[in-house]
Chains A and B, each alone.
Chain A
Amino acid sequence: MELILDGFLQALRLVASLDAEVMTVTLLSLKVSCSATLASLLFGIPTGTLLALAHFPGRRLVVSLINTGMGLPPVVVGLFVTIFLWRNGPLGFLEILYTPSAMVLAQTVIATPIVAGITIASIQNLPANLKLQVLALGATRTQMVRILVREARLPLLAAVMAGFGGVISEVGASIMVGGNIKGQTRVLTTATVMESGKGNFDVAIALSLILLLLSFGVNFLLTVIQQRERPR
């Protein structure tokens, strides 16, 4: 109990003193995870929408793969992204291994199936005839997709929350492709693992609390938007 209390007090001290290292780690966490979430939205929403609306052979298999991908172990993603980005790997020419860019890439791979899977469910949950009604109003295919995505915007906010939640909290991929390099690729999760490994539980708890607050803050903001829009 004393350990948790110390950790909590330490967290307050670190935040209140604007500790440079903690700030760097926190900002990098936000930067990497927000970039990955944004990228996953750019890939996941169109992919999910296409899969929800299109009919083609093998569609069920693709949807099943995406649903499986929603639970991708970060460490497996980290392993494969590392192999791809390794000097002799297919993407080795990018030379981004052990940089924040590699972490963004890995986290995007983790979040995209989450966003795509929730998008599929959101679009498919719209009333069955809504697509026909939009087309009957004279919409082109592009206009129809835009309107359907707009109609599914509230559940799609859940996709943003789930995507962000999935990447801000992951540690396996970030350590593998980022390397936890001080001042360069160290983020809250990797720093927490390192500090607890060193026995600095108070610092680890402090970093964990900051991570929780960060996650809560972003999700609270999105929840407020979602609930404000919700029909009563």
Chain B
Amino acid sequence: MSIILQAENIRIRRGGVRVLDLPRFSIATNEKVAVVGPNGAGKSSLLLGLACLLQRESGTISFRGEPVSARGETAYRRKIAMVFQEPLLFDTTVLDNVAEGLRIRGTGRSEARDIARNSLELFKVGQLAGRSAHKLSGGEAQRVSLARAFAVKPELLLMDEPFSSLDLPTRIVLAEDLGRILHESGTAAIIATHDRIEALHIVDRLVVMDSGKIIQEGSPKEVMAQPANAFIAAFRRTTGAI
């Protein structure tokens, strides 16, 4: 597997506090990485930083071997997608929400809607296409948000605790569906989570963060065998299946 994204010496400061100090991080094509850690560990800053959505103090990001310049950030973001903790759907129909990323890229309305319908079907919410996006349940809205991210056929998908606001049964089913879709599509993905279910169904590699730094990484079995801190030890107790 070749490296799809590589980040070096990324340092990010927010509100006067260093929230990310990342000497080196990379992800291969088709790889699924879970970033775990307690609240405030820097998981969200890592994802936002990798998406070039936060101003960096230093560091470089390369995508498929090409450094991402300040001018090239929009073009880079058109090759990836990001899903946030909240669905953040637009005040339009579900179909137009999912088509938005394609419309932004200049795809014609009709073609964008066709692709959007397929993406909605992929996440089993095709029947919601004509509904107002602001009238959906939490689970439906997050499925639509994922469909919107997948509609643009990203080479890398970044997800920031996408299921944390959902109830447990919804979370389990959605995590299973997402894991299946990610593996079938071969999309590389980084998912920030402190939820064992997401990690369990999606991950090839676990990255443990604390205080803005990566303190441990490896396969789930390796990390669970030798937890680097109390948080991972507690994570292991709730992750018996790994």
Residues of A within 8 A of B (CB): 127, 129-130, 132-133, 135-140, 143, 147, 150-151, 153-154, 231-232
Contacts and interface: CB of A to CB of B under 8 A. Distances in A.
B132 A136 contact: no
Closest 5 CB pairs of A and B: A138-B78, A136-B82, A231-B134, A133-B88, A137-B101
Contact of B77 (A129, A136, A147, A151): A136
B132 A138 contact: no
Interface in B52-68: 53
Contact of A129 (B81, B88, B132): B88
Nearest to B132: A231
B91 interface: yes
Given A130-B88, A137-B100, A137-B104, 12 more contacts: A127-B88, A135-B53, A136-B77, A137-B81, A138-B74, A138-B77, A138-B104, A138-B152, A143-B104, A147-B90, A231-B91, A231-B132
A135 B77 contact: yes
Contacts of A129: 84, 86, 88
B135 A133 contact: no
A180 to B, nearest CB: 44
A22 B91 CA distance: 43
A202 B67 CA distance: 77
A97 B78 CA distance: 53
Contacts of A231: 91, 132, 134-135
Interface of B: 48, 51, 53, 74, 77-78, 80-82, 84, 86, 88, 90-91, 100-101, 104-105, 132, 134-135, 148, 152, 158
A136 B51 contact: yes
Contacts of A150: 90-91
Contact of A138 (B48, B88, B101): B101
A138 B135 contact: no
9 contacts: A129-B86, A132-B48, A133-B88, A135-B77, A136-B53, A137-B100, A137-B148, A143-B104, A150-B90
B30 to A, nearest CB: 21
Nearest to B87: A133
Task: Pick from B100, B132, B148 the residue with the most CB of A within 10 Å.
Answer: B100
Contacts of B80: 136
A127 B84 CA distance: 12
A232 B133 CA distance: 11
A141 B101 CA distance: 14
Nearest to A153: B91
Contacts of B148: 137
Contacts of A132: 48, 53, 82, 84
Contacts of A232: 135
B141 to A, nearest CB: 12
Nearest to B154: A138
Nearest to A139: B104
B151 to A, nearest CB: 10
A146 B86 CA distance: 21
B148 to A, nearest CB: 8
Contacts of B135: 231-232
A130 B84 CA distance: 9
